[in-house]
């Protein structure tokens, strides 16, 4: 799954935050916590700038933050 999501990102899929949050979750579950955090941070920054009120992204962000132990996501 992580490889497919990464390929989609490389091909220029338009929903950067959505794919980045999913990649963060996938990488975390694969044990790559450093890469997971990078994807999470990228998604968070993009979301804050472009779509801060998107409810779907807010739920994914909250799920990832909880899993990663991030407070005040």
Please give the span between the terminal C-alpha atoms of the chain, in angstroms, as a whole number.
Answer: 25
Cα–Cα distance, 70 to 20 (Å, whole number): 16
Which tens digit of pLDDT belongs to each residue from 18-70? 889 999 999 999 999 999 999 999 999 999 999 999 999 999 999 999 999 99
Helix (H, G, I), strand (E, B) or coil at 70: coil
User: Rg for the chain (alpha carbons), in Å?
Assistant: 11
Q: What is the pTM of this model?
A: 0.79
């Amino acid at each position: 799954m992580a490889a497919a999501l990464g390929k989609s990102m490389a091909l220029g899929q338009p929903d950067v935050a959505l794919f980045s949050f999913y990649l963060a979750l996938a990488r975390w579950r694969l044990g790559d916590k450093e890469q997971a955090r990078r994807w999470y941070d990228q998604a968070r920054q993009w979301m804050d700038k472009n779509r801060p009120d998107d409810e779907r992204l807010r739920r994914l962000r909250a799920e990832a933050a909880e899993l990663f132990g991030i407070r005040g996501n």
